[in-house]
Chain A
């Protein structure tokens, strides 16, 4: 619609004088009074004055003064200057001072007839109010009237404010008005409609909107459609019919010649183009037909758009996004990725950033296409901009595969060396993951890990340490090489905790290989046992070591006691730390001490090499109770501590369990089908003497299930703390026949005085060994019994040694302890079996 505006002009108005003529007599007086008071200063002056303030305090003072003036002015209901005052208030609001007392004034301004007032009033409303305050509802009526105003600008103002801050109630009330306006042919106003939730009402109108020539209307209609589609999927089906129309519009835009109104650097109306592309994306997303219809136009846009300026690139970017999202044909997708590849070479940082972000999104689906640009992406790692570097790093990790692992890793490790600390943790984790998946050889893998640990060791995440340990354990042939390299790294630097932890664990495990100089992969170094111990002890005392690290090194030292020949030094260290302030260290030291003193014979079994661990699916759940020895791995994982300490911790848990009524079938063994629920099955012994329930003796002490000894030791080490109490109960001889003597020694389990811990010592005074020795016991029903595995099943002849076994008896009712025992063994080739009853328990053992 083309109308020539005609504006009748009046002489410029001098506000203060003309108003006088408009006022009737009664207010004339008031008005004259008012004239005598100084008029509020103009906005510009206020701004100028405030800007001259040199300090914050000065500024505050001025503002406060002015606020006071404004407030009194408001109180007087001064219509003339209200506008000016509110404007000043808005300025002060922008500076950060409170201005809420102006809210009502804004409303008054809106209600005024003057356009100036309305303008400032609406502005004030938009700035000071929002839809969460109730005051805004008061505006509803004003807006309603203004929406029906004869002047389009007033209507425009109202719509704008409504658009800016209309709450849903307000919108609902005024929806009718807005809709009416939609139908008017005035293009100016139709732009300004804004859709709240009332989509159905606007549905019929929207169909016609796309046929508009006016770009503004077109743009907002497209926005409207987009909004509708996003909110309600049913609309999608409805609007898909519009795809051809949209395509046509887009085509016209591209093909049309220069249009001065909408041109931006040679491209007509890029904003509209982008919007249409976006709408097309939403419409074509999972719909083959629509996507089909769009293919041509997308290809056209992609190839014809000028890329020299940002605008062109913006359109291309949107096009690429659209192509990726809809069901486009593969040629189109390759075109899109190539565009992104070209973006990567662009000088403009923003474009590179955008390209990397988009490639990251598409790398999953179009992996091969993105691979082609790998070298460019890797170059971006060296960019100066932080955001670009981060994107490039993420993308690089996504692109790593079996073929390019070596090259990529070199670049990534170089990046790790030189990048900012904020990246290091993520990069390190990424490197580990990638190395694990694609390592071409074990040695390469270990080398990579070493490199990460030495360069970014302190940034490595805590949970990597157990993973690394497991990895190292599983690379059996690399043990010597690994421990050597780790040792050398330790010599250089002990500040990086993850490195130190892994290194001390390895040294503890494979110290013998280190000392023996067996390395095949590289030149073996000459290390003495003392040097190794020096290093480990150094870790213990160093200020740089965290408590966790100290725990690792103490345990490592302990483990070396079975691998090194010089045990005395180790014993000394361990006993020193028995009085350490750190409770964790102290506990470990005390227990290791006990290991030396009381259970020395078990030490080798306890501290032997870890078997290959299976990768547990999750690093989480603790499965303490298992019925066979192979449970070692999953037991070890959860606590993230070296395995040797496992049993001790578990022991505590088990004891707590034992404190209850149930005897936990914790005995593992080679009779996997028989979880030794000691109580019930052993009772069968009383009647039926079948071999049930008791722990199978012979294989129990064999190597793979060294766990049992852990448990047993854990349990039996408990009484350590009860040494004093135990001393009170004298030992006794339970059985002495045919050269076989069985002694009982007692300890009381501390947490629960109802549990008596009995250790049997079987000795053989005959000339021949007793082999296949099995000791079984049964107790009356009121008791519960638990038999742990024996130290051996051969009782050496001529009292050269004893077989020990631990029995735990739960005696809740404090009845007199009675026991029936059964012994079987082979002496000089012939099997011997005997039953006996033990009644001579000392009273202290069951009271």
Chain B
């Protein structure tokens, strides 16, 4: 399963953090520090896999953002790369040509999308369309906010 997912800029500023196992604040901060240092120190053409403690770290750079995913040792690294790519595609579809600013100003949306795609350290939904539809529907619910609920069902 995945342990955590971090997004940070080239300067090391954190843009998103998702932890799939409980950890204390101190541990989280330490991990963030370690990850940013390690990943930012990598040569541009080196391979995308690292070893850190007993985990494998998969990282990929998209424009000015580094996506850093930690998986357990027996997981498949190549498919983890695909997971990262899929998440980027989802963001792209939602925001339309997503860039770092989108994620900065709409971080809560980024989280919502992530929560539709991954849960508990595993992939939840493998279909892009399904994820997008759920997010759209939830957004509409949000816009629609009032004291009354309306029945909304998923497009099949």
Instruction: Tell me if A13 and B78 are in contact (CB < 8 A).
Output: no
List chain B residues, Cβ under 8 A from A7.
140, 144, 150, 152
List chain B residues, Cβ under 8 A from A119.
108, 112, 138, 142
A270-B137 CB under 8 A given contacts A114-B145, A123-B111, A163-B119: no
A353-B47 CB under 8 A given contacts A9-B144, A87-B108, A94-B16: yes
B105: which of A10, A44, A192 is its contact (CB, 8 Å)?
A44
* A384 CA / B50 CA spacing, docked (Å): 15
List chain A residues, Cβ under 8 A from B81.
310, 314, 350
Q: Mark A207-231, 1 if CB is under 8 A from B, else 0.
A: 0000000011001100100000000
A10-B144 CB under 8 A given contacts A160-B115, A310-B81, A313-B78: yes
Tell which of A261-269, A787-795, A813-821 binds the partner: A261-269
Which A1-21 residues have C-beta < 8 A from chain B? 1-10, 12-13, 18
Q: Mark B119-131, 1 if CB is under 8 A from A, else 0.
A: 1101111111110
Instruction: Tell me if B78 and A317 are in contact (CB < 8 A).
Output: yes
Q: Is the interface of B mostly helix, strand, loop or mixed?
A: mixed
Q: Does B46 contact A (CB under 8 A)?
A: yes
Q: Does A386 contact B (CB under 8 A)?
A: yes
Instruction: Tell me if B49 and A220 are in contact (CB < 8 A).
Output: no
* Closest A-B pairs by Cβ, 7 of them: A2-B156, A314-B78, A349-B47, A130-B22, A216-B125, A314-B79, A3-B153
Q: Mark A84-110, 1 if CB is under 8 A from B, else 0.
A: 000100110011100000000000000
Q: Is the interface of A mostly helix, strand, loop or mixed?
A: helix
Tell which of A148-156, A175-183, A630-638 binds the partner: A148-156
**B42 → A minimal CB distance (Å):** 9
Q: Does B97 contact A (CB under 8 A)?
A: no
Q: Does B141 contact A (CB under 8 A)?
A: yes
List chain A residues, Cβ under 8 A from B16.
94
A354: which of B78, B130, B138 is its contact (CB, 8 Å)?
B78
Instruction: Tell me if A5 and B144 are in contact (CB < 8 A).
Output: no
Instruction: Tell me if A350 and B123 are in contact (CB < 8 A).
Output: no
B29: which of A96, A188, A315 is its contact (CB, 8 Å)?
A96
Q: Does B76 contact A (CB under 8 A)?
A: yes
In this complex, how many residues of chain B approach chain A with their Cβ under 8 Å: the count is 64
Q: Does B95 contact A (CB under 8 A)?
A: no
The 12 sampled A-B contact pairs (Cβ below 8 Å) are: A5-B155, A6-B151, A115-B141, A123-B108, A156-B134, A164-B115, A188-B154, A191-B124, A192-B124, A220-B122, A318-B76, A349-B45
Q: Does B11 contact A (CB under 8 A)?
A: no
* A2 CA / B130 CA spacing, docked (Å): 13
B127: which of A87, A152, A261, A317 is its contact (CB, 8 Å)?
A261
List chain A residues, Cβ under 8 A from B119.
160, 163-164, 192, 194
Q: Which residue of A lies closest to B125 (CB)?
A: A216
Instruction: Tell me if B79 and A318 are in contact (CB < 8 A).
Output: yes
Instruction: Tell me if A314 and B144 are in contact (CB < 8 A).
Output: no
List chain A residues, Cβ under 8 A from B76.
274, 278, 314, 317-318, 321
Which A645-659 residues have C-beta < 8 A from chain B? none
Instruction: Count CB-based A-B contacts (< 8 Å).
Output: 194
Instruction: Tell me if A115 and B78 are in contact (CB < 8 A).
Output: no
Instruction: Tell me if A94 and B17 are in contact (CB < 8 A).
Output: yes
A386-B112 CB under 8 A given contacts A7-B150, A192-B119: no
List chain A residues, Cβ under 8 A from B125.
191, 216, 219
Q: Does A120 contact B (CB under 8 A)?
A: yes
List chain A residues, Cβ under 8 A from B54.
none
Q: Does A165 contact B (CB under 8 A)?
A: yes
List chain B residues, Cβ under 8 A from A163.
119-120
Instruction: Tell me if B140 and A261 are in contact (CB < 8 A).
Output: no
Q: Could you tell me which B residues sit within 8 Å of A by CB distance?
A: 13-17, 19-20, 22-24, 29, 43, 45-51, 76-79, 81-83, 86, 104-105, 107-108, 111-112, 115, 119-120, 122-130, 134, 137-138, 140-147, 149-156
Which A110-145 residues have C-beta < 8 A from chain B? 113-116, 119-120, 123, 126-127, 130-132
Instruction: Tell me if B127 and A262 are in contact (CB < 8 A).
Output: yes
List chain A residues, Cβ under 8 A from B129.
260-261
**B53 → A minimal CB distance (Å):** 15
List chain A residues, Cβ under 8 A from B134.
153, 156, 188
**B103 → A minimal CB distance (Å):** 11
Instruction: Tell me if A223 and B122 are in contact (CB < 8 A).
Output: yes
Instruction: Tell me if B79 and A387 are in contact (CB < 8 A).
Output: no
**B92 → A minimal CB distance (Å):** 14
A22-B147 CB under 8 A given contacts A262-B127, A350-B78: yes
**A502 → B minimal CB distance (Å):** 34
A151: which of B83, B105, B149 is its contact (CB, 8 Å)?
B149
Instruction: Tell me if B130 and A216 are in contact (CB < 8 A).
Output: yes
List chain A residues, Cβ under 8 A from B141.
115, 151, 153
Q: Does A47 contact B (CB under 8 A)?
A: yes
List chain B residues, Cβ under 8 A from A280.
none
Q: Which residue of A lies closest to B23 (CB)?
A: A130
Q: Does A415 contact B (CB under 8 A)?
A: no
Instruction: Tell me if B145 and A116 are in contact (CB < 8 A).
Output: yes
Instruction: Tell me if B127 and A3 are in contact (CB < 8 A).
Output: no
Q: Could you tell me which A residues sit within 8 Å of B by CB distance?
A: 1-10, 12-13, 18, 22, 44, 47-48, 51, 87, 90-91, 94-96, 113-116, 119-120, 123, 126-127, 130-132, 150-153, 156, 160, 163-165, 186, 188, 191-192, 194, 215-216, 219-220, 223, 260-262, 264, 269-272, 274-275, 278, 310-311, 313-315, 317-318, 321, 349-354, 384-388
Instruction: Tell me if B107 and A270 are in contact (CB < 8 A).
Output: no
List chain B residues, Cβ under 8 A from A90.
107-108
A388: which of B47, B124, B140, B146 is its contact (CB, 8 Å)?
B47
* A24 CA / B79 CA spacing, docked (Å): 57
List chain B residues, Cβ under 8 A from A120.
108
Instruction: Tell me if A349 and B46 are in contact (CB < 8 A).
Output: yes
List chain A residues, Cβ under 8 A from B43.
384-385
List chain A residues, Cβ under 8 A from B147.
22, 113-114
Instruction: Tell me if A13 and B145 are in contact (CB < 8 A).
Output: yes
Q: Which residue of B lies closest to A165 (CB)?
A: B22
B124: which of A22, A220, A269 is its contact (CB, 8 Å)?
A220
**A261 → B minimal CB distance (Å):** 5
* A235 CA / B50 CA spacing, docked (Å): 34
List chain A residues, Cβ under 8 A from B144.
7, 9-10, 115
Instruction: Tell me if B152 and A94 are in contact (CB < 8 A).
Output: no
List chain A residues, Cβ under 8 A from B150.
7-8
A115: which of B79, B107, B126, B142 is its contact (CB, 8 Å)?
B142
Instruction: Tell me if B154 and A3 are in contact (CB < 8 A).
Output: yes
**A652 → B minimal CB distance (Å):** 45
List chain A residues, Cβ under 8 A from B152.
5, 7, 151-153
List chain B residues, Cβ under 8 A from A219.
123-126
List chain A residues, Cβ under 8 A from B142.
115-116, 119
List chain A residues, Cβ under 8 A from B122.
220, 223
* A348 CA / B22 CA spacing, docked (Å): 35
Q: Which residue of A lies closest to B46 (CB)?
A: A385
Instruction: Tell me if A216 and B124 are in contact (CB < 8 A).
Output: yes
B154: which of A5, A116, A165 is its contact (CB, 8 Å)?
A5
Instruction: Tell me if B14 and A95 are in contact (CB < 8 A).
Output: yes
List chain B residues, Cβ under 8 A from A194.
119-120
A132-B151 CB under 8 A given contacts A156-B134, A272-B126: no
Given A13-B146, A260-B129, A310-B81, 5 more contacts at CB 8 Å?
A: A153-B137, A163-B120, A165-B22, A275-B123, A349-B48
List chain A residues, Cβ under 8 A from B145.
13, 114-116
Q: Which residue of B lies closest to A191 (CB)?
A: B124
Instruction: Tell me if A215 and B49 are in contact (CB < 8 A).
Output: no
Instruction: Tell me if B78 and A310 are in contact (CB < 8 A).
Output: yes
Instruction: Tell me if A151 and B126 are in contact (CB < 8 A).
Output: no
List chain A residues, Cβ under 8 A from B29.
96
* A6 CA / B155 CA spacing, docked (Å): 10
List chain B residues, Cβ under 8 A from A188.
134, 154
* A387 CA / B51 CA spacing, docked (Å): 9
Q: Which residue of A lies closest to B75 (CB)?
A: A278
Which has the most chain B C-beta neighbours within 10 Å: A350, A352, A388?
A350
